[in-house]
């Protein structure tokens, strides 16, 4: 059997284009009000897994995401790029999960896949920038991790080891770890390949093989029937304990959300003229800020 | 005072030297502990760390739990998780703080996941306060304050139902106070049973260079943002910095656009600075950027957009094209100095 790889991806709101309407009153995010994108570093993680598959063609690339139904879009994009199997972990009872509850659900899903050699994910997602879900998932799986990876330097299939370069402050480390291991990727390496046109045609109508009353499939581009490459997993499907999911499995609570309000300081507007600027420089030299 | 229930800091060492961020956190822990009426404790792991442990105490630590093992000389996830977990389980601190470094961000989530407790990343402030969940009143809990969601909001996160409450904080965010040479703290050696199978990561090569960019130590910083537009224009930023004897800073947008390298980045995901003078050129002033420079003594903002948020915290504002303003600035300074 070839290498069994799992890639964890996330659909995120494009935080660069945010508006005030995107926040709900309780401080949670109204994701519908924002354009949703494939979390950038997760695309690098997917590319890393696909690069491994290029070298080891019998490797299997499984992509998992947890999120509401529209998150299926990042799974489709993964299929277009070369993933073998994708699953959407979606259940209303996952709602309001913090990083701990999220990592628990991902752990359950990874165990459902079983016999995984390497787990790949982005270092962090742009909506929270926490960089916690990768290591938390590794800990729950009881496996080693290599964070902030820029490059995989080699894989020894026989010895079941991987060598990778990871970024640290002011430099880098080259490390080796046995399988199974979770790697988190920065955007320094593995420029994502474009989607393949042939795969897009094959998968554009990909649909889930499980139907659920709670599941809104209206986002799909029409249903061409069962597609075994794309699965929908709810809490029962991944054998998760409800108590550890969603809000009840999340120790962190949002106490307060403040919109950023700027306090008007004693700003002195300087005229954009040689005289205005010279006066400011004079002031700054006089009070010893400059010079 | 009980020895449990402390405010604890995971003290990171790199190549045997305690990281600045850990000392900054110790000082913040001291402040929180004084408010709570409890002690400050620290975890230090490494090989031959006795002298560093003594140094840590001088920043206000009452007890250092010292774990020495050749295998702990450099950080790797599994052995360090084992060490920190064991000490937290035995000592039962109420709060644990980690530097938001690659090490702290590698370790903290593993501990949180193992102990099933909360962890808030990249806090820009920590406070003590009360919180109510339904009918249950929690007093003296940790407010973990951080910008979130692209910096458009500031969130106060709490995790009162699980102990310890944990947070990571970036270097430079908390202020380091002067050490007190005769501060009375003790070193408690702790032995942690590490198996060969715990050492799953083998470090083949480790390369660290001293930072060529010293933003933290700079008295004056000239920073460029996306408004600088091109690498060619960025030379103006460098020139002004050179003339003023300043360091070159940048916003994340400028770094992402490739105008300047990452070590120059100021802000929540870059370096936090408190210089005497900060000159923001073509920087709109997102909350993440401001989180990293708002404490500067004086701020000059140069921007073509009069509504740019940066003007809200600046002491001097110039509405204009930096390509015109900077050469005039240089000329004026050369004439006066």
- DSSP codes, B70-114: GGGSS--HHHHHHHHHHHHHHH--SEEEEESSHHHHHHHHHHHHH
Q: Between vectors from CA B261 to CA B257 and to CA B266, what angle results, nearest 5°?
A: 90
In chain B, what residues touch A136 (CB-CB under 8 Å)? 109-110, 112-113
Q: Which residues contact B276 (CB under 8 A, 6 or more apart)?
A: A289, B219, B220, B296, B297, B298
Q: What is the predicted pLDDT for the residue at A209?
A: 47
Looking at CA atoms only, how far is residue A28 from chain B in angstroms?
A: 10
In chain A, what residues touch B103 (CB-CB under 8 Å)? 168
**Closest partner residue to A135 among B109, B318, B319, by Cβ?**
B109
Domain extents for chain B? Answer: 7-198, 220-336
Looking at CA atoms only, how far is residue A232 from chain B in angstroms?
A: 25
The more confidently predicted of residues B153 and A234 is A234
Residue indicated by tokens 């030379």? B235
The rounded distance, in Å, linking the Cα atoms of A247 and A254 is 11
**Closest partner residue to A176 among B152, B202, B333, by Cβ?**
B202
Range 75-114 of B in CB contact (< 8 A) with A: 76-78, 81, 101-103, 105-110, 112-114
A146 lies within 8 A of chain B by CB: yes
Q: What is the pLDDT along chain B (337 residues), one digit of tens a residue?
A: 456 899 999 999 999 999 999 999 999 999 999 999 999 999 999 999 999 999 999 999 999 999 999 999 999 999 999 999 999 999 999 999 999 999 999 999 999 999 999 999 999 899 999 998 888 899 999 999 987 766 667 889 999 999 999 999 988 788 889 999 999 999 999 999 999 999 999 999 999 876 678 888 788 999 999 999 999 999 999 999 988 989 999 999 999 999 999 889 999 888 888 888 999 999 999 888 998 898 888 999 999 999 899 998 999 999 999 999 999 999 999 887 6
Across A28-37, A195-204, B56-65, B267-276, the highest mean pLDDT is recorded for B56-65
CATH of B220-336, one of 3.40.50.1220, 3.30.420.40, 3.40.50.720, 1.10.10.10: 3.40.50.1220
Of the candidates B138, B141, B145, B150, the residue with the CA atom closest to the CA atom of residue B167: B145
DSSP type of residue B48: S
Range 17-56 of B in CB contact (< 8 A) with A: none
DSSP type of residue A264: P
B210: nearest CA partner in chain A: A170
Tokens describing residue B166? 């944990």
Q: Which residues contact A71 (CB under 8 A, 6 or more apart)?
A: A10, A11, A36, A65, A88, A90
Q: What is the predicted pLDDT for the residue at A259?
A: 67
Q: What is the predicted pLDDT for the residue at A217?
A: 42
| Disruptive mutation site among B134, B153, B208 for chain A (greatest number of A CBs within 10 Å) | B153
| Disruptive mutation site among B316, B317, B337 for chain A (greatest number of A CBs within 10 Å) | B316
Structural domains counted in chain A: 1
Mean pLDDT to the nearest integer, A214-220: 39
Q: What is the predicted pLDDT for the residue at A229?
A: 78
B277 lies within 8 A of chain A by CB: yes
> What are the pLDDT digits (tens) for A124-179?
998 888 999 999 999 999 999 999 999 999 999 999 999 999 999 878 999 999 99
**Closest partner residue to B153 among A23, A175, A274, by Cβ?**
A23
- Tell me, yes or no, whether A48 lies in a domain: yes
Q: B139: part of which helix (H) or strand (E)?
A: strand B136-148
Range 98-117 of A in CB contact (< 8 A) with B: 98-100, 103
In chain A, what residues touch B320 (CB-CB under 8 Å)? 272
Under an 8 A CB cutoff, do B119 and A252 touch? yes
Evaluate whether B187 touches B214 at the Cβ level (below 8 Å).
Answer: no
Q: Residue A211 pLDDT > 50, yes or no?
A: no
Which residues constitute the domain of residue A66?
A: 4-249
Residue indicated by tokens 């991902």? A106
- Residue A11 forms beta bridges with which residues? A38
Q: Residue A222 pLDDT > 60, yes or no?
A: no
A173 lies within 8 A of chain B by CB: yes
**Closest partner residue to A177 among B147, B200, B337, by Cβ?**
B200
In chain B, what residues touch A164 (CB-CB under 8 Å)? none
A135 lies within 8 A of chain B by CB: yes
CATH number, residue A225 = 3.40.50.620
Q: What is the predicted pLDDT for the residue at A287?
A: 80
Evaluate whether B32 touches B121 at the Cβ level (below 8 Å).
Answer: no
Residue indicated by tokens 């970024």? A167
The rounded distance, in Å, linking the Cα atoms of B292 and B301 is 15
Quick one: chain B helix, strand, coil %, rounded to 5? Answer: 30, 30, 35
Q: What is the predicted pLDDT for the residue at A223?
A: 39
Q: Residue A107 pLDDT > 60, yes or no?
A: yes
Under an 8 A CB cutoff, do B337 and A270 touch? no
Average pLDDT, chain A: 86
Range 215-274 of A in CB contact (< 8 A) with B: 250-260, 262-274
Query: How many C-beta neighbours within 10 Å does residue B179 have?
Result: 15
Q: What is the predicted pLDDT for the residue at A45?
A: 98
**Closest partner residue to B157 among A139, A178, A252, by Cβ?**
A252
- DSSP codes, A93-134: GGTT--HHHHHHHHHHHHHHH-S-SEEEEES--TTT----HH
B145: nearest CA partner in chain A: A256
- Tell me, yes or no, whether A150 lies in a domain: yes
CATH class (in words) of the domain with range B7-198:
alpha beta
Length of chain B as a residue count: 337
- Tell me, yes or no, whether A205 lies in a domain: yes
B251-274 burial code (b ≥16 CB/10 A, e <16): bbbbbebebbeebbbbbbbbbbbb
Q: Is B149 left (phi over 0), alpha (psi -120 to 50) or beta?
A: left
Q: What is the predicted pLDDT for the residue at A279?
A: 92
**Model confidence band, residue A227 (pLDDT cutoffs 50, 70, 90):** low
Q: What is the predicted pLDDT for the residue at A221?
A: 37
Q: B278: part of which helix (H) or strand (E)?
A: strand B277-281
Of the candidates B187, B198, B145, B120, the residue with the CA atom closest to the CA atom of residue A257: B145
Under an 8 A CB cutoff, do B153 and A285 touch? no
- Tell me, yes or no, whether A281 lies in a domain: no
- Residue B301 forms beta bridges with which residues? B280, B317
In chain B, what residues touch A29 (CB-CB under 8 Å)? 149
pTM for the full predicted model: 0.81
A139 lies within 8 A of chain B by CB: yes
Range 171-230 of B in CB contact (< 8 A) with A: 200-211, 220
B132-149 burial code (b ≥16 CB/10 A, e <16): eeeeeeeeebbbbbbbbb
Under an 8 A CB cutoff, do A285 and B320 touch? no
- Cis check for the bond before A243: say yes or no (omega within 30 of 0): no
Q: What is the predicted pLDDT for the residue at B151?
A: 62
- Tell me, yes or no, whether A289 lies in a domain: no
| Disruptive mutation site among A24, A98, A100 for chain B (greatest number of B CBs within 10 Å) | A100
One fold for B7-198 and B220-336? yes
Looking at CA atoms only, how far is residue B41 from chain A in angstroms?
A: 23
**Closest partner residue to A171 among B116, B152, B208, by Cβ?**
B208
The rounded distance, in Å, linking the Cα atoms of A60 and A3 is 6
- DSSP codes, B188-231: EE------GGG--EEEEEEEE---S---TT-SEEEEE-GGG-SH
Q: What is the predicted pLDDT for the residue at B175?
A: 83
A41 lies within 8 A of chain B by CB: no
Under an 8 A CB cutoff, do B151 and A260 touch? yes
């Amino acid at each position: 059997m070839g290498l069994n790889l799992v890639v964890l991806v996330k659909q995120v709101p494009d935080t660069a284009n945010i508006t005030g309407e995107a926040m709900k009153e309780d401080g949670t995010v109204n994701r519908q009000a924002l354009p949703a994108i494939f979390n950038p570093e997760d695309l690098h993680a997917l590319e890393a897994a696909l690069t491994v598959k290029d070298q080891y063609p019998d490797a299997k690339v499984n992509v998992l995401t947890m999120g509401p139904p529209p998150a299926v879009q990042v799974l489709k994009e993964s299929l277009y790029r070369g993933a073998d199997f994708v699953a959407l972990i979606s259940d209303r009872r996952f709602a309001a999960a913090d990083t701990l509850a999220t990592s628990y659900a991902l752990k359950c899903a990874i165990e459902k896949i079983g016999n995984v050699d390497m787990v790949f994910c982005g270092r962090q997602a742009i909506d929270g920038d926490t960089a916690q879900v990768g290591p938390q998932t590794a800990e729950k799986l009881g496996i080693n991790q290599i964070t902030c990876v820029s490059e995989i330097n080699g894989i020894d299939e026989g010895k079941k080891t991987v060598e990778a370069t990871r970024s640290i402050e002011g430099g880098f480390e080259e490390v080796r770890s046995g399988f199974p291991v979770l790697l988190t990727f920065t955007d320094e390496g593995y420029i994502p390949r474009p989607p393949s046109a042939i795969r897009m045609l094959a998968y554009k109508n990909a649909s889930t093989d499980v139907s659920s009353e709670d599941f809104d499939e209206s986002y799909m581009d029409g249903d061409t029937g069962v597609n075994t490459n794309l699965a929908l997993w709810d809490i029962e499907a991944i054998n998760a304990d409800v108590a550890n999911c969603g809000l009840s499995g999340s120790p962190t609570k949002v106490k307060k959300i403040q919109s950023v309000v700027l306090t008007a300081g004693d700003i002195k507007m300087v005229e954009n003229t040689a005289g205005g600027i010279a006066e400011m420089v004079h002031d700054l030299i006089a009070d010893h800020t400059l010079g | 005072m009980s020895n449990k229930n402390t405010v604890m800091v995971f003290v990171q060492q790199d190549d045997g030297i305690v990281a600045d961020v850990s000392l900054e956190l110790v000082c913040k822990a001291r402040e929180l502990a004084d408010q709570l009426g409890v002690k400050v404790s620290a975890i230090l792991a490494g090989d031959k760390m006795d002298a560093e442990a003594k140094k840590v105490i001088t920043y206000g630590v009452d007890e250092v739990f010292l774990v020495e093992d050749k295998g702990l000389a450099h950080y790797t996830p599994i052995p360090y998780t084992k060490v920190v977990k064991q000490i937290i389980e035995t000592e039962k601190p109420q709060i644990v703080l980690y530097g938001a470094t690659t090490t702290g961000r590698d370790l903290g989530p593993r501990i949180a996941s193992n102990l099933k407790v909360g962890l808030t990343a990249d806090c820009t402030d920590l406070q003590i306060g009360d919180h109510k969940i339904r009918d249950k009143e929690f007093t003296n809990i940790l407010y973990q304050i951080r910008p979130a969601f692209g910096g458009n909001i500031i969130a106060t996160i709490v995790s009162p139902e699980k102990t310890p409450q944990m947070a990571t904080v970036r270097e430079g965010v908390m202020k380091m106070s002067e050490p007190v040479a005769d501060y009375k703290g003790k070193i408690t050696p702790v032995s942690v049973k590490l198996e060969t199978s715990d050492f799953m990561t083998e470090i083949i090569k480790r390369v660290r260079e001293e930072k060529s960019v010293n933003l933290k130590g700079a008295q004056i910083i000239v920073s460029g943002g996306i408004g600088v537009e091109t690498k060619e224009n960025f030379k103006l930023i460098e020139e002004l910095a050179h003339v003023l004897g300043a360091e070159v800073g940048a916003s994340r947008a400028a770094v992402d656009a490739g105008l300047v390298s990452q070590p120059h980045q100021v802000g929540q995901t870059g370096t936090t600075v408190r210089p005497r003078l900060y000159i923001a050129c073509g920087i709109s002033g997102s909350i993440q950027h401001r989180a990293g420079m708002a404490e500067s003594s004086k701020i000059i903002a140069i921007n073509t957009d009069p509504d740019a948020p940066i003007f809200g915290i600046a002491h001097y504002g110039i509405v204009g094209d930096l390509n015109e303003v900077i050469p005039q600035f240089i000329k004026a300074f050369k004439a006066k100095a």
